[in-house]
Chains A and B, each alone.
Chain A
Amino acid sequence: MRAFGLGLLVGLAAALVIAVAALLGVWWERKVAGRIQKRFGPQTTGPFGLLQTLADTLKLILKEDITPRAAQEGVFRMAPLLVFAPVAMSLAVVPFVAGWAPFDTAVGMLFFLAVPSVSVLGILMGSWASGNTYATIGGIRGAAQMVSYEVPRSLSVLSVVLLAGSIRPTAVLAAWRPWWLLLTAVGFVVYFVASIAEVNRGPFDLPEAESELVAGYFADYSGIRWSVFMMAEYGGMLAASLFGAAVFLGAARWLPGVLGLVSLAVVACALVTVMIWVKWTLPRMRPDQLMSLAWKVLTPMALVQLLLVGAVIPWLR
């Protein structure tokens, strides 16, 4: 009973964190994108346009709840939640402060890598249940993409696990040393690129390719359902950045004690900004180019990284 209550609390907290993160993330994205495009971004709603996302959320909440006639209702409605929930769950195993994570399991690293893959199911459900060819194409592309990019992501995280000698995130954070970056720099780059692809962002947003497939798998979602997809995307960006900053860069240990949360937050925001920067600068990759990047470039890089780390391990013990 106590565990259930605690779980409920953690879940609500995670959802709240993601909601706030999405709110601020959208604002920050619009500001950064504006600056890249020689313009300012939101300015008039609230100071520096901070209330813009709130205004947009209000508009989305007040929109009519449309379910297309060709859609299968139950599956259609469940899909956004199935995309959002795993992302919120994955936030629970991130070690925010040295020695503490909201859900400190012994298999935390695996949890973080495996649970967001359930979002693939949500995407497939949403695209199929929309009853719309464009959405189905987007969903199939999305599923293929997400499954492919999990391989380099997992392999790169595995190199850190080898160095730390544990799959518990708090133990990995505790064992982190600055010189690890010399060995894991390549792995971090692979992890970062693969994470961008996992959340269907930036140059890898073909499933939701706005100019080709008119928003692909969430084409038929409007109002609050669409914003749940968006929250999942921003939440995924944030979770990947937080996890990468904690595990690869050890950012939660740069400042002592609870202040580690601040340094982690700052580094994670910097990584999210890099993701935004990459999205607005680069064009979109084609599906086959995307796949060949995952399998022919990132996976070999991650394997080489793993070999490198594996070669060093005997000297560490």
Chain B
Amino acid sequence: MKIEELREHLCERHPDLCPLFSLEFGDGILVVDAEKLHDAASDLCDLGFDLLGWCTAVDRGTFFEMVYRLRSRTMQVGMFLKCQVPRESPSIASLTDLWPAANWHEREVYDLFGITFEGHPDLRRMFLPDDWPGHPLRKDYADDRMIRRPDYF
């Protein structure tokens, strides 16, 4: 299915999500508010997006941007679901009840970014020890052992 067909399909099933859908760099992207994330996600799940490929966060300075990659086997198409999470108290609904695959991905985001997921069954750090100070993938993370490589270009 092409992205344009997906847009039409989405618009007829869920008209409220239609204006939030955009096409960039060959992929469909749906940007929602943080409060509406779970509802939008369950709408997409009903629409046929049964696979959660991955989820991650991007530190945009003033906020974190959560990115979810969804895929539908029946419609043979993939798309992004994004939302913004404020930096001061980063917390968002967990999607593990819709896609159990989200479990480990959300733990990884919690570990590396510090975003907590409400409703996650087992929110613990994934890679780093439990008592590690800070969250490394944030842009303002500093550590004594970090080395800045000189730019040779």
> Quick check: do A and B touch in the complex, using CB within 8 A?
no
Residues of chain B whose beta carbon lies under 8 Å from any beta carbon of chain A = none
Residues of chain A whose beta carbon lies under 8 Å from any beta carbon of chain B = none
